[in-house]
């Protein structure tokens, strides 16, 4: 099994060396100069380029995640009286508050709220 691999490797090496011998001197000098420039530039500037290549996608991902978070969170309006009274329909007063959204202290005094509902109108008319 190694024999075909060795033959292929040997043949490729022979072709490479033959092509390198047939290369004219000007092209060979240009290739050597380009190789030296590439190897010398790989020391300092490539680190900054690699860092930039890593930070740019990370920053873009962070911006997209922030925008998605801002768009998915509910918008809360101002709670002061400057916004004006909010229109309350009659159906809103008839429904009990949602247990998840209501204050737990409201459920501790249910009998008081029942008494207030019965006697609130009679006390207000006095």
Alpha-carbon distance 126 to 124, whole Å? 6
CA angle 6, 11, 17 (to 5 degrees): 125
Alpha-carbon distance 87 to 31, whole Å? 80
Min mean pLDDT across 15-29, 41-55, 80-94, 101-115 is at: 80-94
Q: Has this prediction a pTM greater than 0.95?
A: no
User: Would you give the DSSP letter of residue 38?
Assistant: H
Domain ranges, ordered by start, for the chain: 8-72
Alpha-carbon distance 9 to 15, whole Å? 10
What would the pLDDT profile of 53-73 be if each residue is shown by its tens digit? 888 888 899 999 999 998 888
């Amino acid at each position: 099994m190694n024999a075909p691999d060795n033959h292929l490797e040997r043949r490729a090496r022979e072709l490479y060396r033959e092509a390198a011998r047939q290369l004219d001197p000007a092209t060979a000098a240009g290739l050597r100069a380009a190789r030296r420039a590439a190897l010398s530039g790989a020391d300092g500037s490539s680190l900054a380029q690699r860092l930039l290549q890593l930070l740019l996608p990370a920053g873009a991902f962070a911006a997209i995640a922030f925008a998605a978070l801002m768009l998915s969170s509910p918008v809360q309006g101002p709670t002061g009286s400057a916004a004006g009274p909010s229109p309350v329909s009659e159906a809103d007063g008839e429904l009990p508050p949602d247990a998840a959204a209501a204050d737990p202290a409201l459920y501790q005094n249910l009998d008081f709220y029942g008494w207030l509902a019965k006697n609130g109108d009679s006390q207000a008319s006095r």
